[in-house]
Structure 1
Amino acid sequence: MLKDLFSIFKDIFTNKKLLMQFSYNDFRSRYASSTLGIFWAFVNPVVTVLTYWFVFDVGLKSGLTDGKYPFICYLLTGIVPWFYFSDVLGSATNVFREYSYLVKKVVFNIRILPTSKLISNFYMHIFFMIIAFLVTILNGYYPTLQTLQIIYYAFCMMMFLTGLTWITAAIQPFFPDINQFIGIIMQTLMWGTPVLWSINTFPPVVQMVLKANPLFYVIQGYRNAFFSEGWFWQHPALSIYFWVWTIVLLLVGSVVFKRLKPHFSDVL
């Protein structure tokens, strides 16, 4: 397992220039065929944020958070990493079918394809993080040294997604219905992750169950970084739990990818 894992990371590092160029081209081509181009990349997330804000804060005044922060700040700092997770998982799962013409070329190293989706979606992620920073600053929450932890949590998200998408992308050519399963799971996961609500509104027993979701660590970490609420090493149990999950996904993903890769061209 370790040999397979190191082999994939070695290929990614060796082809880093090609990977960066490919991810940039992927980002550009995604909206090249539409009249308004990249404008559409901003519309859906912005409309989603405004809808949640209006419904839950203005309309229902639901009190999903503990009232410590303005709801729009709380929402943005949680939904920005969620958008990145959702976009990468959806696009990277389909990457081998999307680029089937490259999969059939012996000379092209297809190991970089899932990673290219992580990077191409990261461009938009940076933009929305800037928006989140502007909104939080306008509400009086200024960056501190602890805010730099966003770099760490972004790395956590990318590593977690790397292992997960190696599995889903490798399975998708043989089982296209995996996209439907992911869609259903994402709907459930959205409400089981602290994107719209604060974990402090639940009893301790329920909090323990909710923290079993590995995404809790990353999304709550983003929020803590935005609001400068402590350092990640102050939560050693959660950190160890998350990295155990991530390492397992990376190991399993590298093996699954290696076993299924020789058969991609037969089914695509």
Structure 2
Amino acid sequence: MSSILTLLKEQILNMHLIFRIGLYEMKSQYQMHYLGRIWQFLNPLVLVSVYWFVFGLGIRGGSPVGETPFFLWLLTGLIPWLYISPTIAQASNSIYSKIAMVSKMNFPVSVLPTIKMFSNSIPFLILLIITFCITIIYGEFSGLYLIQLPYYLISMYMLIFAITILTSSLAAIVRDVQNLVQAIMRIMFFLLPIVWSVDSLPGNLATILKLNPFYYLIEGFRHTLIGGEWFFDDITYSIYFWLLTMIILLIGSTIHLKFRNKFVDYL
């Protein structure tokens, strides 16, 4: 547990640095594009439109999921994933891509995945607000369920940090890890209830899919934005999620602290 506390302390002590570099990365990402930061919102808009057309109008024929319009149901699951997937892929490469520069500066490399998490957070939070406004337009406002949004945001950030501190450390040592992460995130999209409903699956298969911690987050954001379930309604599942997150964080922090003084040697 001391390794986890060490990394968390480093994040807190360097929060000002995380914010400063994260904002710089966000501003510079599309600096050479004519549309600039508009792409941060244009890309999700195009993806949502394509998935809605293919899965909503094409495969489902416009039918709702339960009593929820498919477009809204899709949006509440897809927006969190459009943050989670690229952030994990990019943060997993953060140490390798910046280690030469960081080795000449006085701040811990453990903040590099967090910087990427922060730089991607601002567009995500704006899209989340837009999604919330759309639920109101559709008349699907979740009411009191919205107060559990901070819980799911914290859950998401903790899981992403746990995974990326592990994968970014391993990717700095073995480059194949980065390709593996990207492949897994692409496959993961189709194993999560983002464009399809779990209600159509047999009970045993649905239970197996719930072992995926991202399932917990996607459904959690959906329940928060359109209502239906509290995070403590299935307390066993919540305990499982946090136990798995802490195990990943423990493994990742241990590996990171053991090898981080040698990362430069693997370049």
Same fold (TM over 0.5): yes
Q: Offset of 1:62 from its aligned partner? A: 5.7
Equivalent in the alignment of 1:94: 93
In 2, Cα distance between equivalents of 1:116 and 1:64 = 41
Moved more, 165-174 or 65-74: 65-74
**8 Å Cα contact 2:100/2:264 also seen in 1:** no
By how many angstroms is 1:36 displaced?
Answer: 2.1
Q: Which residue of 1 aligns with 2:152?
A: 153
* Structure 1 runs not aligned, ≥5 long: none
How far 1:202 sits from its partner (Å)? 1.3
CA shift for structure 1 position 64: 8.7
* DSSP-derived class of the 1:110 partner: coil
> Closer, same or farther in 2 for the Cα pair 1:159/1:249, shift >3 Å?
same
Q: Which moved more, 1:203-212 or 1:179-188?
A: 179-188
The farther-off stretch of 238-247 and 199-208 is 199-208
Match of 1:167 in 2: 166
Which stretch has the larger CA shift, 64-73 or 197-206? 64-73
Contact 1:102 1:108 in 2 (8 A): no
Separation in structure 1 between the aligned mates of residue 57 and residue 168 of structure 2, nearest angstrom: 40
1:77-135 Cα shifts (integer Å, max 9, x gaps): 00111111112101101112332343221523222111111111111110110221122
RMSD: 1.7
Counterpart of 1:180 in structure 2 is 179
Task: Please tell me whether the aligned partners of residues 63 and 69 of structure 2 are also in contact (alpha carbons under 8 angstroms).
Answer: no
Counterpart Cα distance in 2 of 1:94 and 1:239:
29
Q: Which runs of 4+ in 1 moved over 4 A?
A: 62-65
Q: After superposition, give the CA deviation of every residue in 1:184-239 in whole Å (9 maximum; x if it has no partner).
A: 21222111111112211112111111111111111100000011213111110110
Equivalences for 1:230-241 in 2 at 5 Å? 230-241=229-240
Correspondence for 2:16: 17
**Structure 2 matches for 1:126-141, cutoff 5 A?**
126-141=125-140
Unaligned runs of 5+ in 2: none
CA distance, structure 2, for counterparts of residue 98 and residue 35 of structure 1:
26
Identity %: 32
Provide the aligned length of Structure 1 versus Structure 2. 267
Query: Residue in 2 aligned with 1:6?
Result: 5
Tell me how far 1:57 sits from its aligned partner.
1.5
Of 234-243 and 32-41, more deviation after overlay is shown by: 32-41
Instruction: Tell me if structure 2 keeps the 8 A contact 1:102–1:110.
Output: no
